[in-house]
Each structure stands twice: as C-alpha cells, then as structure tokens.
Structure 1
Amino acid sequence: MSVSIKEAAMRRDEEGSYVGKTVFELEGHKAGYEINFFSKKGKDWDYSLSFADEPGSEELFLELDARLEEDDELFDLLLDAALDAEQA
C-alpha cells in the first residue's frame, strides 16, 4: 500500500512541546487523512487521526487507525515527514 504525503508541519509550542501534522493519502482509499502529533520531549508521541477533507469510509478509517497502532514503519514514515518539515 503506497502512501502519498500531501503536507507536513511541525513546530514547538510556547512550553517547548512538539505539535505537528501530516496530511496523506493511501492507495485504495478515496478520502485523505490527517494525523496530528504531540510530544512533550520529542520521544513518546501521542497522535490523533482524522479525515483531511471530506469524510470517507468509517470502516477504512478504523482499519487505518488500528494499523497505525501496530505498524511502526507506517507511523514513523508519517512522523518523520512532520519532523523533516520542522527542520526545512
């Protein structure tokens, strides 16, 4: 399943915590997604997943959310896109 990154951003808030996002599309999914990241120190990451624009299939959304919990490679790809955007 190929991933297409559409937009990525990362910044540090006034308390020094990392706040970022990656907007992406997955092959075979009609809707795009946005994953938001948060970390106090840049090591342990919390995230929230949502549709980027128009809502899509709830079933595919739930499958993706479960996959993000298990697939470190996919999660790291999306997180690295956001982290790379901070340094750009």
Structure 2
Amino acid sequence: MPPFNIKRAAMQLDDESRFVGSTIFEVEGHTGAYEITFLSKNGKDWDYSLHFADEPGPEEQFLLIDAQLEENEDLFDDLLDAAVEAGGF
C-alpha cells in the first residue's frame, strides 16, 4: 500500500445512537482523494463504504484501495481510528 495522508475525519452519534463517521484521505500516486464512511450500531462492528471524495478518478486506483481495505486490517483500523478520535469517542 502506498503511503496515505488523512485530510479530514469526523464521527458522531445519530438520532438512533448509531456511530456515523467518515475519513477523507489521499494516497500517494493517486489522482484524487477518497472518502470512507463508517456506520456501527454498537461501536464495535463496522460497515463501511468507499467512494471518491471529490471528482471521480481512475477505476483501477479505486479498486486497488477497495481491495486494500478488505485485505489490510491496519489500513482500515487507521482510517477508522482517525474518525473515532475526531469524534472524541
């Protein structure tokens, strides 16, 4: 995985006391930034969705990052931790 830089992160509780957050990050050598959104009912089991943060970029780069999120627990945890810490949880 190429180095990445977190641009912005946030986490909050919604009206149903679910954790809802996101992290926007850039990956070295990639055209644009990505945003990963997180959702959890209990703060332990997380669903996520990955998409381009701004303008769409090359699909190959997107698929590479998506695969990395599935395979690399440390990457996922780093992005999730940034959102949780930004929310003060």
Please say if 1:32 is aligned against 2:63.
no
Q: Measure, in 1, the Cα distance between the counterparts of 2:30 and 2:78.
A: 18
TM-score normalised over the length of structure 1: 0.96
Q: Measure, in 1, the Cα distance between the counterparts of 2:72 and 2:38.
A: 16
SS at match of 1:64: helix
* Other-structure match for 1:20: 21
Matches within 5 A, 1:38-49: 38-49=39-50
Q: How many residues align?
A: 88
SS at match of 1:54: coil
Gaps of 5+ in 2: none
Superimposed CA distance per residue, residues 20-49 of structure 1 (whole angstroms, 9 cap, x where no aligned partner): 000000011011000000000000100000
Shift of 1:15: 1.1
Q: Measure, in 2, the Cα distance between the counterparts of 1:2 and 1:81.
A: 15
SS at match of 2:55: coil
Gaps of 5+ in 1: none
Amino acid of the residue matched to residue 50 of structure 2?
Answer: L
Shift of 1:2: 1.1
* Other-structure match for 1:73: 74
Provide the alpha-carbon RMSD of the alignment: 1.0
